[in-house]
Amino acid sequence: MNRLLAIADNKANSAAWDRWRRSHINAIALGTVALGFVLRVQEAVGTFLNPDEALHFFIANRASLHAVYQASLTQAHPPLLFFLLYALRPFGNSEFILRLPSVLAGSLFCWIFFKWLNRILGPVVALVGLIFATLLPPMINVTAQVRQYGLLLVFLISGAWFLESALEKDSPGLMLISAASLWLAMLSHYSALFFIAAVGLYAILRILSSETSISTAITWLAGQIVIVALAVSLYLTHISKIKGTSMAEQAFDGWLRKSYFHQGSDNALTFLLTRSFSLFQYSFGQLVVGDIVALLFLAGIVFLLGNKLRSTRTRYELAVIFVLPVLLNYAAALRDLYPYGGTRHCVYLTIFALAVVSACIVKVARESAVRAIAIAILIVTLCFIFRTNHAPYIARADQSRSNMLHAVTFIREQVSDSDPIFVDYESGIELGHYLCEQKAVTYDGSIPGFLVFHCGGNRVISTIPDVWAFTPTMFLQEFSRLVRVANLKPGQVVWVAEAGWMVKLDDELRKYSEFHDLKTQAFGNNLRFFTLTVGQPLPPPDATPLRAHHKPSRPFNSRAVLSSCGTTPATSVILLMHCRSKLVF
């Protein structure tokens, strides 16, 4: 009897919670979005721009929109963000002002994502998805920088949301807003094409299965025609121009190598599995959690295809909207057209990944809102505590704005006007932004093969964009070429500045006997300065350093780590998360 009473009480409490949730769901969601906005603001203030952010403003900081557009053609992104940054300049050029569009767009994305999920998969799934989209560290970080991804996410989800509204209300006006949102998404980032293709097929299925008027259907079709025309125009004027360039080759063979399929050395199935898991590792910002939620995603797909998810849509419609974008991106990676995996370039896939994972969690929690939300909060908490830092990465303490201000003061007070400052391209963009006080940087062309500009009396000599960051070999080659081309005299002091992602040139050079006594002035770990004197002995570019660059690395063995520590099952997972959070994937 007591057990029956307890069950009845639990059901009554659950029913009371459901009534309270239904009447307060929007307030709960708005409160979550407000918390996410605060976290994004906190992320956006107090740090100097990283090299990619500084490069985006460098492109936008021109005399006219036409000049901005011409400069944007050298980059791998459409021009919308550059136009927006250009328009922002009258309001200021502080780090927060430049990051504010991303912060606002990222916060608005979370709200529309919640409304979209609520309409398709119900309120509980929507709340769980909102918690992930709003509070996961990578989602905060990627929408609090001077990048395209905040704009991309908000325009994509707006296109999907207004499509649903247009079809339900049979409204040509809302359908036009949906199309315009997708146009803006295309002008924000090229990954929008995968999303748009999937949403286009989904729209066809929905139009055929609903009583859509001719006017609404024609409006949708007109929007698709504009999308195709815009895609063709972007391809002819931009995408085709950057294919095969050194920038594309560096991405394919360098920092995005793992996210492209390499014929002859990679297996297609292995590539799909490893890069899919890495996608979740990136999206959740934790390796172990990422692996677990990747399994939840697979389970969610099984539920989806088995028609076991509560939804107002058919399983075929759900499969198209949630699975097709992943398959399209995977197919593009197999053809070396676009990266796939744990990289910000695939952040648009989090829309579908978070939706399916959230639906699976609700299913596992037996439709209980309390249990599902508790699971989501636990996952987010673990991702914050055991956060994995994804390369390239600058620690917040090293990226403190005070470090940059001290570095600029050091240059102005300690570096003589007669001593040139030699930098790689990323360092030149970074220093140019701050040393020139956010004014437009103009290259004078005085040294062939190098980019030369002046700020406050200091002359900065930068490599061209092909030499983004120095390696020791590349530095020795470029320095020797600079001495020869610029006709620098023996005894001339040259300052070498490092500012950006990969700042370890001075450490690498000390491994050569000629640089054993190299002295460095550092401001954190990512701003460093040292001097060389023209005529001093230099190792040849192909010289071998005195000691190895790294100790031989061993593969990560989680079982060995756990057994060596004598852990219990209750603590082994936590220890594994802590160990793996120190790795970079």
pLDDT in tens, 498-553: 999 878 999 999 999 889 889 999 999 999 999 999 998 888 877 777 654 443 33
Smallest CA-to-CA distance from 276 within 202, 343, 358 is with: 343
Helix, strand, or coil (residue 499): strand
pLDDT tens digits for range 550-577: 433 333 344 433 343 444 444 444 444 5
Q: Could you give phi then psi for residue 231, rounded to 5 degrees? A: -65, -45
Residues 6 or more apart from 290 whose CB is under 8 A from it?
A: 277, 278, 280, 281, 282, 283, 284, 342
At 462, list the tokens: 């930068």
Strand ranges (DSSP E) for 370-462? 421-423, 451-455, 458-462
Q: Could you give phi then psi for residue 46, rounded to 5 degrees? A: 90, 0
What's the pLDDT at 481?
Answer: 95
What's the pLDDT at 266?
Answer: 83
Bond into 79 cis (ω within 30): no
Helix, strand, or coil (residue 420): coil
Q: Quick one: CA dihedral 205, 210, 213, 219, positive or negative? A: negative
What's the pLDDT at 209?
Answer: 87
392 in Cβ contact with 526 (< 8 Å): no
At 324, list the tokens: 């097709």
At 271, list the tokens: 């590539």
Smallest CA-to-CA distance from 471 within 497, 441, 502, 512 is with: 502
Q: How are beta strands 527-533 and 521-522 bridged, if at all?
A: antiparallel
**Separation of alpha carbons 480 and 473, rounded Å:** 11
DSSP 47: B
Helix, strand, or coil (residue 460): strand
What's the pLDDT at 304?
Answer: 84
370 in Cβ contact with 563 (< 8 Å): no
Give the residues of the chain that fall short of pLDDT 70. Answer: 1-23, 244-254, 546-585
Burial of 481 (0-12, 13-18, 19+ CB in 10 A): middle
**Separation of alpha carbons 117 and 127, rounded Å:** 9
118 in Cβ contact with 168 (< 8 Å): no
Helix, strand, or coil (residue 148): coil
Domains of the chain: 2-385 (no CATH), 401-533 (3.40.50), 558-585 (no CATH)
Residue with tokens 């699971």: 375
What's the pLDDT at 564?
Answer: 38
Q: Determine if the pTM surpasses 0.85.
A: yes
Q: Could you give phi then psi for residue 114, rounded to 5 degrees? A: -60, -45
**Separation of alpha carbons 413 and 410, rounded Å:** 5
What's the pLDDT at 561?
Answer: 37
Cα 26 off chain centre by: 29
Q: What's the angle, vertex CA 170, arms to CA 165 and CA 174, rounded to 5? A: 50
**Separation of alpha carbons 199 and 313, rounded Å:** 14
Q: What's the angle, vertex CA 502, arms to CA 499 and CA 504, rounded to 5? A: 85
Q: Quick one: CA dihedral 241, 246, 249, 250, positive or negative? A: negative
Smallest CA-to-CA distance from 373 within 136, 134, 137, 132 is with: 132
**Separation of alpha carbons 526 and 403, rounded Å:** 9
**Separation of alpha carbons 393 and 399, rounded Å:** 10
**Radius of gyration from C-alpha coordinates of the chain:** 26
